Amino acid sequence: MTFDQLRTLLAVHESGSALRAARALGREQSSVQKQLDTLNRNSQTLCGEVLTVRQGRGKDFLFTPTGEDTVELARLTFEKWLESIHWSRRRLGRMLTVGTTEFTLPIVSRAWNRVSEEFRQREVEFKVAHVRTKELWSRLETRQVDLICGSIVSTPEGDLRLREYEVVEYARGQAWLLTNLLENELPDTPVETSRLGGVPLVVPPAGLVADLLATWYGPSFRERLNVVADIDDVHYGLSLLRSGFVRGCMIVTGSIGRGMAAQDEPGTVPLRAIALDDDLEPKAELMTGAFVRRADLERYDAGHPLNRLWAAVKEDVRTYTPLA
């Protein structure tokens, strides 16, 4: 059983038919069918059961229990193999993967400009992966990225998750409320975080804002707050508020809040940015920065692409003017 046969089996399992698998693999249908016949014949000899069964013209292949087990084994084999290849490329400085949220992309962009020519000359494969804030820690801890830029909730006691990481901090500050409520409904004076229960909120199910609310109100914060709408991302929340379809408030960073409130778009409901006054414990702030595993920096020499990029990030922060 070869890697190529296993790849074909996975393609058939995912697409359902030899024809669609052939198109995905850029092959002739007869070639795919020949490999399936070989796999079925070998499986029958080894296990006493074929992997796939034809169900008739126009119908997807039926995978037997042995076939399903083989597909899962093939998938794990490829994942482990690719993981090993990627790790070797990273270790040898041939590949670097950086994760960034939409709002921290400029950090990576500025750092990249400092090392891009060097990386091109060394033929380093540089990849940028879009990461949602709610995925930030999982991407780091599972080593899907070498370096990541994003925002986290920070408390005075410190975040235990940061013990194994080096951090370059770009900005730190309190969250703000972005609202379409009128001033007689919600004055411009700072809103205490302990009063958020009396404010209609537009809230995402996970991510930075959810982490912030959980810090103040516990994991079941939805039961203690007046959530009038659920959103997947900040852009949908902005559209929702500007449309006037929902009247309420959205928790955002100070720079986003003031920036959006300053935009006067014709035909939309005007928005106001109101500061939050954190009067709950523990005190929580929003911190934006770059994060990298300390062990990775120590594992490689100073000339390794990861250390070179990290040095560029640290150099960039010295000249960066935060928007807080």
Instruction: Give the tokens for residue 131.
Output: 């990461």
Q: Of 323, 305, 324, give the one whose Cα is nearest residue 114.
A: 305
The CATH number assigned to the domain holding 47 equals 1.10.10.10
User: Considering the domain boundaries, does residue 323 fall inside one?
Assistant: no
pTM of full prediction above 0.75: no
Last residue of a domain, one of 63, 89, 115: 89
Provide the domain count of the chain.
Answer: 3
**Alpha-carbon gap, residue 155 to 168, rounded angstroms:** 16
pLDDT tens sequence for the chain (324 residues) = 888 999 999 999 999 988 899 999 999 999 999 999 999 999 999 999 999 998 877 788 999 999 999 999 999 988 888 878 777 777 777 889 999 998 899 999 999 999 999 999 999 999 999 998 888 888 888 888 999 999 999 887 667 778 889 999 998 889 999 999 999 999 999 999 999 999 999 999 888 899 999 999 999 999 999 999 999 888 899 999 999 999 999 999 888 888 888 887 788 899 999 999 999 988 899 999 999 999 999 999 999 999 999 999 999 988 876 544
Tell me how far the alpha carbon of residue 215 is from its chain's centroid.
Answer: 21
The alpha carbons of the chain give a radius of gyration, in whole angstroms, of 26
User: Considering the domain boundaries, does residue 232 fall inside one?
Assistant: yes
pLDDT at residue 67 in the model: 93
187 and 273 inside one domain: yes
User: Considering the domain boundaries, does residue 26 fall inside one?
Assistant: yes
Handedness of CA 194, 197, 198, 202 (dihedral sign): positive
CB 312 within 8 A of CB 115: yes
264 and 181 inside one domain: yes
Residue 272: give the domain boundaries.
Answer: 175-277
Last residue of a domain, one of 68, 89, 110: 89
Q: Where are the beta strands (DSSP E) in the chain?
A: 52-53, 62-63, 95-100, 125-130, 147-154, 165-173, 176-179, 191-192, 200-203, 226-230, 249-252, 272-277, 285-293
User: Considering the domain boundaries, does residue 296 fall inside one?
Assistant: yes
The CATH number assigned to the domain holding 239 equals 3.40.190.10
